[in-house]
Structure formats: structure tokens, C-alpha cells
Amino acid sequence: TQLLEQSPQFLSIQEGENLTVYCNSSSVFSSLQWYRQEPGEGPVLLVTVVTGGEVKKLKRLTFQFGDARKDSSLHITAAQPGDTGLYLCAGADTGTASKLTFGTGTRLQVTL
Amino acid sequence: ETGVTQSPTHLIKTRGQQVTLRCSSQSGHNTVSWYQQALGQGPQFIFQYYREEENGRGNFPPRFSGLQFPNYSSELNVNALELDDSALYLCASSPDPNSPLHFGNGTRLTVT
């Protein structure tokens, strides 16, 4: 059984601070996706990383896929209240980008 | 705005009853995936349908079943409801099994 563990589980920070969320597994994935989910809504895809060592940036968010494709990180610079939400990583096997193994989630709260 | 709509948004059932949850996918999306998200956890893959045929199943018992129709709508049926079935059920569609998912906002099922 593939498992993805995220850390930390909860994070409460003030506006302007930086943070990093980690997603770790003992399994290799062909790709890894990051989602943000807000209360009462479904997850929304932020990014997909495919190549080991790949780094992608989305405005203030930086995503990295580990060299061995077993782990990933999400770094947010100068967090804003709009970044508040549940961040989920999800791994996919080859040819099955839609059959995902989700992580345990990191709940982020950014206050003024 | 999401192109995936789910109904109902909330539902309360009694243990032992049966329930049908509905999903309308984006036009042209031949793949629909269903996920169960328990409170405070990441979504878990239930099963996927591709062109009206089951195309993979997660670790869920046979009392969880599904249907996909030619008009891009689909159903998730759960028989003999148990208290642990209480969760947010998410439907997600994609053009094909190897494309990223577009999630609906889910149906919150409470089993009492």
C-alpha cells in the first residue's frame, strides 16, 4: 500500500512569513500533484511535477520533486491570508494521473 | 468555476440504508473518478470509470458501486450504510485516465 505523509499537519502563521510543507513516501511515483482545498469545496490542482529534481514556481509558491521521486515540498514565500486552506499532495503511477494516492494534508492558516 | 457538479450537497441517512450520489462531469470528459474524504484526512480513491467501464478500484468493499452514463453523468451507490461511511464524497472528471482531475465540491454524507 502506497502512503504519503505530510508534515506538518497544522500550521498557523502570520502574514508575511515563509513556510515549507513536506510530502514523503517510501514509494516511487511517476508524478506528484499538489492541491489546495478550501472548506466546502473540492481540491483544486496547483501543479504537477514529473521529473526527479524538478522545481516549479507559481507566483509565491515553489514546488520541488525529490530526485528519487519519493518526496516533494511546497514552499510559500510571504504568506497571505488568501493562502489559507488545506494543502494536499497526491502521487500517481505511470499512465494513471487520475488514480491518486493522497497525502494526509496540511492545514494552513495565515492571519493578519 | 468548476465544470463538475454534484448532488445533493448534503445528505443524512440511517445505518443500513442505501444511498445514490450523482455527478455531472464536464462535457468531453470520458473519465470519472470517485473519492471518499473522511474528516481531517486526504481523499481516498474509490474507483474510476472510463467510457462507461470500471477502470480501477481502490480498497473499498463491493457495497460501493458505480455507473457512468453516455451523457457524462455518473452515480456512486453505497448499500448497507455504516457509520464509518460518513464522509465527503468527491467526484472528479478528466478527458482521459492520464489527464489531471477536475473535482466537484462534493456531497457531505452523514450516517446516523
Q: Between A42, A96, A99, which is nearest B106 by CB?
A: A42
pLDDT (0 to 100) of residue B60: 97
**pLDDT, tens digit, 9 for 90 and up, residues B57-77:** 999 999 999 999 999 899 999
Is the Cβ of A43 closer than 8 Å to some Cβ of chain B? Answer: yes
Q: Report DSSP letters for A1-16, one per residue.
A: ----EEE-SEEEEETT
pLDDT (0 to 100) of residue B1: 45
Cβ distance B84 to B29 under 8 Å?
no
- Expressed in angstroms, the distance from the first to the final Cα of chain A is 41
Cβ distance B6 to B23 under 8 Å?
yes
* Helix runs in chain A, H state only: none
The alpha carbon of residue A9 and the mean position of all alpha carbons in its chain are separated, in whole angstroms, by 12
Instruction: Quote the mean pLDDT of chain B.
Output: 94
pLDDT per residue, tens digit, chain A (112 aa), is 678 999 999 999 999 999 999 999 999 999 999 999 999 899 999 999 999 999 999 999 999 999 999 999 999 999 999 999 999 999 998 777 788 999 999 999 999 9
**pLDDT, tens digit, 9 for 90 and up, residues B20-39:** 999 999 888 999 999 999 99
Cross-strand pairs, B5: B24
pLDDT (0 to 100) of residue A62: 98
Q: Identify the three-state secondary structure at position A81.
A: helix
Cβ-based contacts of B48 with chain A (< 8 Å) = 98-99
B2 vs A110: CA distance, rounded Å: 25
Query: Which residue is closest to B99 within chain A, CA to CA?
Result: A97
Specify whether the backbone of B83 is left (phi greater than 0), alpha (psi in -120 to 50) or beta: alpha
Q: Which of residues 47-106 of B touch A (CB under 8 A)?
A: 48, 56, 58-59, 90, 92, 94, 97-106
Cβ-based contacts of B98 with chain A (< 8 Å) = 95-98
